[in-house]
Structure formats: C-alpha cells, structure tokens
Amino acid sequence: MALSFVVLSEVMQSRSFRRQYFARTLSVLGTTMSYLALTFAILGSGGSTTELGLVMAANTLPMILLLLFGGVWGDRYPRNRIMAVADMVRVVTQGLLAAAVLTHHMDLWLMIPTQIASGAAAGVFQPASSGLTRVTANPKRMQESISLLSTSCNTLAAVGSLVAAGLVATVGAGWCIAFEAGTFLLSAVLCRGIPLPPRPPRAVKNQMVRELAEGWREVRTRNWLWISLAGFTVWQLAFGSYTVLGPDVAEKALGGATVWALILTVYSLGNAAGGIVGMRWKPARLLVLARLAELMEIPVFVLLAVRAPLALIVAAAFVAGTFESISDVLWRVAMQEQVPEESLSRVSSYEWLGTMGVQPLALVLAAVLSSVFGPAAMLAGSGALIGLAAMSGLLSPDIRRMRRLPEEPDEDEPQESQESNDAREIQEVQEV
C-alpha cells in the first residue's frame, strides 16, 4: 500500500499530467452523464423513441466523421488547446440544451444542431487527448500514468450514470445537463492551463489529405499496429452482442433490468481492478500479453449464452472487465513507446475510427443476426470471434517480438562511463 502511494505521488508530481488527469476525468464524467440525462430530458418532455434515436444519431455521426480530422489537428496544433476548444463547444451546446429543458422549450430544431456540434467536438477531443500523455507524463512512470487514467475513467464511466440518475430523480434532467456542462467548463479551463514543451513549426497550408495519408502510412508500415487495429475492430463487432443481447438474457432468464445493471457494474469494477494491476505489472512482451488477456473475456459470452447461474456470470463479468483493462493499458503503453510523438494523434484517430466507427453497425448486426440464429448462438459465436481475433494477432512475428523499451535510469544513480565498460570487458577477456 505504501508503495502505491509513492507511485501515485511520483505520477502526480508532473503538473502537466496532473492537469490532464483532472481534465480528462471531468470530461469523461460529463460525457457519461450525457446519454442518460438527454434520454430522460427527451422522454420526460413527451418526446418519442424515434426522436431520441434521431438526436443520438445526430451526436454519433459527426463524432465518427471528424475523428480523422481531429487526429490531424492534434498533431498540427497544441493538443491541450484543441481539447479546451472542444470542451468549450460542449459547454455551449449542453448549456443551451439545459436552458431549453428548464424553460420547457425542447424541440428537435434545437436538440439536433446542438448534438451535431457536441458530437463533432467529441470527435476532435479524443485523438488530441490520446496523443497528450506522451509529453505530460513522467517518462519513468508512463505505464502508471496510463493505468491511472484508465482506472479513473472506467470508474467514472460507472459512477457517471449513477450521478446522472440521482440528479434526474431529485432536481430534474435540465439541472443534470447543466451540471454536465459545468464538468466540461472545468475541463476546458484545466486543459488550457496545461504547460507543454514547444513544438517545431510546421507548414500547414492545404496539407489535410497529405497529413491523413502520413498518419495512415504510420499505421500500415507497422505490422503490429494495423494487425492490432484490425483485431480491435473485430472485437467491437463481437461486443455488440453483449450490449444488445445481454439485457435480453437478463430479462428472460436472470431477473430483469436490476440484474443486468449489477452485471454492468461488476464489469466496470473489473475495469478499475485491471487498471490497478496495470500500475504494478510490467511484462516485457506487451502485445503478446495484451492479446492473451483478451481471451479472458470469452467466458462471460459463453455463460450468458447457456444462461448459467447468475453468480458465475457476475464472476465472469468481473474477470472480463479486469483483463479488458489490462489489455488496454498494455496496448496504450506500446502506442506511447513505439509511435512517434508527432504522429500519435493521427494514429490514435485511426484506432478510434476502427472501434467507435463500427459501434452502430455492431448493434444492428447483433439485433438482425440474433433473429436468424438466436441469441445463444450469437453470444457464443461472438465469444469465439473475440478468441479468433486475439489468437490471429499472435501469429504476427512483429507482435511476438515486440518488447517494452528499457526504463530510463534514475538521475541520482551513478552511471558507468563507456570507457569503464570497455576496460571491464577487456579485463574479463584477458582473464579468460
């Protein structure tokens, strides 16, 4: 325990990372609250599920479309300022939405434009945020910094829905959305104040397409990178079955919505536990262990498919969440170590596009195919697909050969000069 506090102290010593950490967690809290608050705001004002679907689509599509452009801007301009501008846009959109709800003026003509702008801001924010840790975190504590961000964000993803539900139940959806806008405001202020090292000037005139191509070149010329991204896309397609069919199984065989909420909460707790493990466990073979960790997500799909006892499903959900988080931490470390800093946001944008971009398709496929093959077959098949994607990645020599970069020695540790090393080697040879 004492060691953990020492590590956390060293991680948070960096003023830049400290500001990034609080900004990121506040932004995640606001984003997590948004879905539930908006849902109750629309339905509570007499809106239909069709209107809710249109508003959600208005948020999701611009986010997906702007991810690649956000990656270019993240590598071209100061990332903290891009994040600050994106969150200020969401302050305005959610502020307008809160005012509309509180004054009982909820209309599609207001909701759709505000959510288009909010989704676009999220699409710009994500790649910039992914590329920022490289320059804010203590280089000797890079994995711990990534793990802390992962743990906190996963925890807030679970807490955010509970906070939103509490606010909606007590003070109403309008004030909940206003609170959400406040989290974005604080995040923007913190982002704007992140001190960053100067970056070399770059010519930026009419280079969008070329810079996108350069980012894709960084992906396709690294076998470990594009193979991993392809695997993540397959994983996302498979996970749609968990999202769509899990509640159906819970409703018909396990006890209803309360049970499904319990499973989701335990999964999130597993995510948090995996982040804590990621702060202490530093395997040399980053991607090999990341792919093997993904195999531990299969049991929860199989147990849901066979409608196993609830205790087994809950335990499997905790294991799946834990190892998903461990895999994510190891992957983030590999990205931060192996991808050039000037290309990190563009490479991250392709990752986000390959995961978030297929989420709507994954949900539709899960619903359509389950009507053909049945929920049990779809859940079991999705688990098998996750296993196939993970094992296929291990066939790549580049993934198997990748090693963690050696940690930088402490500055206060005495360093042997090259001359002393050479003299010692000569002496050893003479003795032989």
Q: Which residues of 144-157 are buried (b: 16+ CB within 10 A; e: fewer)?
A: bbbbbbbbbbbbbb
**Using 50, 70 and 90 to split pLDDT, how confident is the model at 67?**
confident
Taking CA atoms, 155 is separated from 43, 158, 281, in Å, by 27, 5, 20
For residue 45, the model assigns a pLDDT of: 72
**Using 50, 70 and 90 to split pLDDT, how confident is the model at 90?**
very high
User: Per mean pLDDT, which of 224-233, 263-272, 413-422 is the most reliable?
Assistant: 224-233
For residue 3, the model assigns a pLDDT of: 46
Asked whether residue 283 carries a pLDDT value surpassing 70, the answer given is yes
For residue 93, the model assigns a pLDDT of: 92
Q: Which two tokens stand for residue 289?
A: 């262990």
For residue 355, the model assigns a pLDDT of: 81
**Using 50, 70 and 90 to split pLDDT, how confident is the model at 162?**
confident
User: Per mean pLDDT, which of 150-159, 164-173, 206-215, 387-396 is the most reliable?
Assistant: 387-396
Q: Greater confidence, 33 or 315?
A: 315
Stretch 137-157: mean pLDDT:
81
> Which CATH fold topology does 216-405 show?
Growth Hormone; Chain: A; (1.20.1250)
- What are the backbone angles phi and psi of residue 268, rounded to the nearest 5°? -65, -40
For residue 419, the model assigns a pLDDT of: 42
Q: Does domain 1-140+150-195 have CATH number 1.20.1260.10?
A: no
Average of per-residue pLDDT values in the chain: 81
3-state secondary structure 89-126: HHHHHHHHHHHHHHCCCCCHHHHHHHHHHHHHHHHHHH
Residue range(s) of every CATH 1.20.1250.20 domain in the chain = 1-140+150-195, 216-405
Q: Would the pTM count as exceeding 0.85?
A: no
Report the greatest alpha carbon distance in the chain.
89
Stretch 369-375: mean pLDDT:
83
Stretch 80-106: mean pLDDT:
89
Stretch 194-202: mean pLDDT:
71
Taking CA atoms, 108 is separated from 34, 52, 69, 304, 353, in Å, by 17, 10, 27, 38, 27
3-state helix, strand, coil in the chain (%, to 5): 85, 0, 15
Angle, CA of 30, 32 and 34, to the nearest 5°:
70
Stretch 49-56: mean pLDDT:
73
State percent of the chain over pLDDT 70: 89
CB atoms within 10 A of CB 61: 16
